[in-house]
Chains A and B, each alone.
Chain A
Amino acid sequence: DAMVIQNPRYQVTQFGKPVTLSCSQTLNHNVMYWYQQKSSQAPKLLFHYYDKDFNNEADTPDNFQSRRPNTSFCFLDIRSPGLGDAAMYLCATSRDLQGKNIQYFGAGTRLSVL
């Protein structure tokens, strides 16, 4: 059974049209992450939530925002998508345990920008 669920698997949006990607988890993990993965590249961390505390990476563009309304759900908002934002977006979760903070990833949402 899927534990980190990302919807939709494929998303098409228009240049400049806001888009929201969603992630839900059934693991009751307190940490949730968003990564961007462009074609033939490694995943790149955008930001993460530790409980309700939001932590942005220094080089994440302002165009990317996130919301976490409760433990189970986290959203990635792209306010004005550009062609360069076409990528796979991966959500991951972990529980903060000493020495065993394993991240579990969803299958990802592939975003196309037309």
Chain B
Amino acid sequence: SQQGEEDPQALSIQEGENATMNCSYKTSINNLQWYRQNSGRGLVHLILIRSNEREKHSGRLRVTLDTSKKSSSLLITASRAADTASYFCATDAISGSRLTFGEGTQLTVNP
């Protein structure tokens, strides 16, 4: 089964609105990463947050991590139509050295 589980599975918003996606995981982690995938393309690394960090920003992206709840959220502010994609969280577990991906959230930003 997948280590990370994203919520919601699909999200549709209007351009300019904020989009929030959540991820829950099961085991202890070294870090958690968010990726984006446009249809028919490979995954693109967005941001990495380490287990001792609680929040991280990168441009319009804001990621939070709550290790006590084993959850993370990705916030995209002032969304654009070009943000339409699938977003995946991936965990780097302490017990291993490879990422395990969730099933993703399909974000649609309507112009």
Are A and B co-members of a single complex? no
B residues contacting A by CB (< 8 A) are: none
